[in-house]
A and B are shown apart, each in its own frame.
Chain A
Amino acid sequence: MSSLQFDIAHLLAGSLVLASFMMLYQDRLYALLNVYALHAGVLALSVAWQAYVQHAPHLYVTALIALVFKAIIIPVALHRIIRQLGIHREIENVIGVGLTMMAGIGLVALSMVVMLRVTPGADALAREDLAFALSVLLLGLLIMVTRRNAVSQVVGFMSLENGLVLAATGAKGMPLVVEISVAFSVLIAFIVIGIFLFRIRERFDSVDVQELDRFRGERR
């Protein structure tokens, strides 16, 4: 692999982490969805580049799936849901932006250290790729933890899954069947969660998960 190819792969994976950071501080739902679409688009590019570099044509299919499902269908569907729920004006922030960003930076540093410690024998691209993927994954979890709105928790979950796909493509060899089944399971999870969103909304007039806690008789 030439150094240019390596650099481009590096660049794309790094932009994915950057997109995750952008998601961290979006406090409006539409903006969050737009960044998520960008996130998925970068993922698709990155996977396509891996396909080109590794001469693995089946990865093009993976990239296509990422582009179609994650960058187009899911954001559009979530847009519709938000509009139907009428929550596009809601603003949410649980922890301050600065604190969240600091935590995110810490997580990225942590995943770098872990990967350097754990994979001394692997080749450089795989190490970098895995470190970025772990960062994306942890940032996705952080998004889920810091949000109260069910829709943004779903988005956090989707970005977490993007990290998994990135890790798999970098590690040379997730079979297509696995990739397709992961994609479908995410889609089904999305459908189920979507239905639940409407059910919650129907009952509580809100998709703030705090309502659920209040319903169970718990205090924050």
Chain B
Amino acid sequence: MIAVALWSVAALLALAPAGVVLSARPRGSFILYGGCLIATSTLCVTALSDLLYFPYLTPTATLPIGLPWLGAHFRLDALSAFFLVVVNLGGAAASLFALGYGQHEDSPGRVLPFYPAYLAAMNVVVLANDAFSFLVAWEFMSLTSWAMVVSHHREAENVRAGYVYLLMASFGTLALLLAFGLLASRAGYDFDAIRASHPSAALAGMVVILVLLGAGSKAGLVPLHAWLPLAHPAAPSHVSGLMSGVMTKVAVYGFVRIVFDLLPEPVWWWSVVVLLVGGPTATLGVLYALMQRDIKRVLAYSTIENIGIIFTGLGLALAFKAQGLDWVAALAFTAALLHVFNHALFKSLLFFGAGAVLEVTGERDMEKLGGLIHRMPKTAFAVLVGCVAISALPPFNGFVSEWLTFQAILLSPQLPNWGLKLIIPAVGGLLALAAAFAAACFVKLYGISFLGRPRSDVAASAHETDRFSLAAMFALAALCLVAGILPGLFIDALAPVSKAMVGNVMPHQTGLEWLTIVPIAESRSSYNGLLVFLFAALSGMAAASAIHRLASDRLRRAPAWDCGYPDPSPAIQYSASSFSQPIRRVFGSVILAAREIGEMPPPLSPAPARLTVDMRDLIWDALYAPIAKVISVATERINTLQFLTIRRYLTLVFAALVVLLLVVAL
């Protein structure tokens, strides 16, 4: 099993230099993405069969690379297998999408060599069983994705995004390096040795904070999220899908691996930290998303929201496990992992949809789109499925994992600790708010971009995208539906992971009649995706046929009611900004410091009236800007050292030597 996985990773690594050669060929990108599709599919099938059939075996392998006295250790347990499935399912879908989408790349030489290396790095992070391989692969993943973020480097915005991304990635790796340094101080770098050592409570607490900083900066937890909405949209769309759908999950994997696996039994305050970061991340992420006009930025901010939901689930699992309620911990943990899987599906799907729109129209601004449902009906259908799934509406998969998270939140009164009893319902409220905002956000995204009338010529002249892209989107949409109506299969497949990480499992689901899922006991709550789907489908069809049968079938065309004005311009339609205006007025004035400045010309003046909206990211202003300012002032001061005279330099060297000697002497 692990040998197949490692050979596939090696194949991906070998494709990277081939990408340099292939990028010059006309069919090169097709060959390269085809190779990536084969390798990631192999990995996905391998990991899936491992998860389903041998979940309790943990094959290991050691390769003589890396540190000479350590080697590179790899291990394939249930957790790694699950995340391998997520990574490679996303990778395979992105490669399939790119078979079509990648043909239109302007400078393939800037993307092709890095793409397979990026996939390989994410796989190695998940497979690594020692800190050195983990960190090297982690950093490799950051660097290769950075290279693709700046692939369209002629736009100044992308270069800035790459710069911020590089800084934050270095910060995250530094935090992880320190965390592993603390852990390795007793045991060395091998994960098996770290597992066997028993770090003190204070040291373990410090490691948790550092991992939350390191993995959280990669995953996009508020307030370390600033780079994400800049970098993810800047990359080519299939890479954006991978970064948002898959790489953030690799960060979640890092957090789970260290906090649930390598560290000893959790302490309750760890969960407080995670919950207090996770809940606000979910709400703030989607609130930012709601204010955006750029489709890909909406999706990137929505990733922050979903990461918040996942971390809330993980925080709940920590809380319940620390308090001895490990059957609830299993529920919360399974919910978080299921959301990891679901988010990888629908976020990739939505980014591919945005990529298809970008490819045929060249526009990412919603205010210039509209009416695409008539020109790209298939893409519009797939994106609709993604929007419904990400808004957590049944019968799709997003609903299942969020519903399970709420089930765990509703069990919080059973906790003995009063602090947690008070915090968890508050976090639950934040999640509920986030879910409502997410629905509004995707109604806006879909309604403004795909419905209505085209707002620009490029939108009016759009056409359907190619068949590979459509195949990738429809495959993901089908998986969203399957995971939504058969969640029991997925929950049961996650049982070994939950067993290994929190020590308990959710009740067995597949034997229940009508494919119902029951998180705790039938008397409490149950959900049946299949029935909801059948009901929605049947009632929808019944309503449609009734309307067709009973209504007059004569086609009438009449001017719509338009406030007494015949409407000549599509610009008069409801716009993205006007859609989000009520929410901006309620929440934005404080959290986003949003200001609306209206300029009304005097009566009888022909000058146009203007409404300008000014929004700021307060976290950027309060946290990042001061740090940047201090660093820039300090470097300016130190910079004078670069321009001293030769004698000054000699004097400095001499003075330093004398001072050091004085230190030795005294």
Contacts and interface: CB of A to CB of B under 8 A. Distances in A.
Interface of A: 107, 110-111, 113-114, 117-118, 138, 141-142, 144-145, 148, 153, 209-210, 212-213, 216, 218, 220
A197 B657 CA distance: 27
B647 A117 contact: no
A111 B662 CA distance: 9
Given A114-B661, A114-B665, A220 B654 contact: no
Contact of B658 (A110, A153, A209): A110
Given A110-B658, A145-B651, A117 B643 contact: no
A4 B653 CA distance: 39
B643 A110 contact: no
Interface of B: 643-647, 650-651, 653-654, 657-658, 661-662, 664-665
Nearest to B664: A114
Nearest to B652: A145
A141 B664 contact: no
B647 A113 contact: no
B665 A113 contact: yes
Contacts of B646: 209, 212-213
Contacts of A153: 650
Contact of B664 (A117, A142, A209, A218): A117
Contacts of A107: 658
Contact of B650 (A144, A212, A216): A144
Nearest to A113: B665
A145 B664 contact: no
Given A141-B654, A145-B650, A110 B645 contact: no
A1 B650 CA distance: 40
B572 to A, nearest CB: 61
A141 B665 contact: no
Contacts of A111: 661
A189 to B, nearest CB: 15
Contact of A142 (B643, B654, B661, B665): B654
Given A141-B654, A142-B654, A145-B654, A110 B661 contact: yes
Contact of A110 (B644, B653, B662): B662
Contacts of A209: 645-647
A93 B662 CA distance: 27
Contacts of B644: 218
Contact of B647 (A110, A114, A148): A148
A220 B651 CA distance: 14
Contacts of B650: 141, 144-145, 153
Contacts of A142: 654
Consensus secondary structure, chain A interface:
helix
Contacts of B665: 110, 113-114, 117
A216 B651 CA distance: 19
A213 B648 CA distance: 11
A113 B654 CA distance: 18
Closest 10 A-B residue pairs measured CB to CB?
A213-B645, A113-B665, A114-B665, A141-B654, A145-B650, A145-B651, A114-B661, A145-B654, A209-B646, A114-B664
Consensus secondary structure, chain B interface:
helix
A107 B662 CA distance: 10
Given A141-B654, A144-B650, A118 B664 contact: yes
Contacts of B654: 141-142, 144-145
B661 A141 contact: no
Contacts of A144: 650, 654
B658 A138 contact: yes
A113 B663 CA distance: 11
A175 to B, nearest CB: 26
Contact of B645 (A113, A114, A138, A220): A220
A107 B665 CA distance: 12
26 contacts: A111-B661, A113-B665, A114-B661, A114-B664, A114-B665, A117-B664, A117-B665, A138-B657, A138-B658, A141-B650, A144-B650, A144-B654, A145-B650, A145-B651, A145-B654, A148-B647, A209-B645, A209-B647, A210-B645, A212-B645, A213-B645, A213-B646, A216-B643, A218-B643, A218-B645, A220-B645
Given A110-B661, A144-B654, A213-B645, 6 more contacts: A138-B657, A144-B650, A145-B650, A218-B643, A218-B644, A220-B645
B548 to A, nearest CB: 85
A84 to B, nearest CB: 23
Q: Which residue, A107, A144, A148, A153, has most C-beta atoms of chain B within 10 A?
A: A144
Contacts of A138: 657-658
A142 B650 CA distance: 9
A99 B27 CA distance: 78
Nearest to B646: A209
A218 B643 CA distance: 8
Q: Which residue, A107, A110, A118, has most C-beta atoms of chain B within 10 A?
A: A110
A37 to B, nearest CB: 24
B588 to A, nearest CB: 51
Given A110-B662, A113-B665, A114-B664, A141 B645 contact: no
A114 B646 CA distance: 28
A218 B654 CA distance: 21
Contact of A141 (B643, B657, B662): B657
A144 to B, nearest CB: 6
A163 to B, nearest CB: 13
A104 B647 CA distance: 18
Nearest to B661: A114
Contacts of A212: 645-646
A113 B647 CA distance: 27
Contacts of A218: 643-645
A153 B664 CA distance: 28
A111 B661 CA distance: 8
A118 B650 CA distance: 26
Given A113-B665, A114-B664, A117-B664, A145 B647 contact: yes
B628 to A, nearest CB: 29
A71 to B, nearest CB: 25
Nearest to B643: A218
Contacts of B657: 138, 141
A102 to B, nearest CB: 14
Contacts of B643: 216, 218
A218 B642 CA distance: 12
Q: Which residue, A111, A153, A210, A213, has most C-beta atoms of chain B within 10 A?
A: A213
A213 B643 CA distance: 9
Contacts of B651: 145
Contacts of B658: 107, 110, 138
Nearest to B645: A213
A212 B657 CA distance: 25
B142 to A, nearest CB: 39
A133 to B, nearest CB: 13
A142 B657 CA distance: 11
Contacts of B662: 110
B646 to A, nearest CB: 5
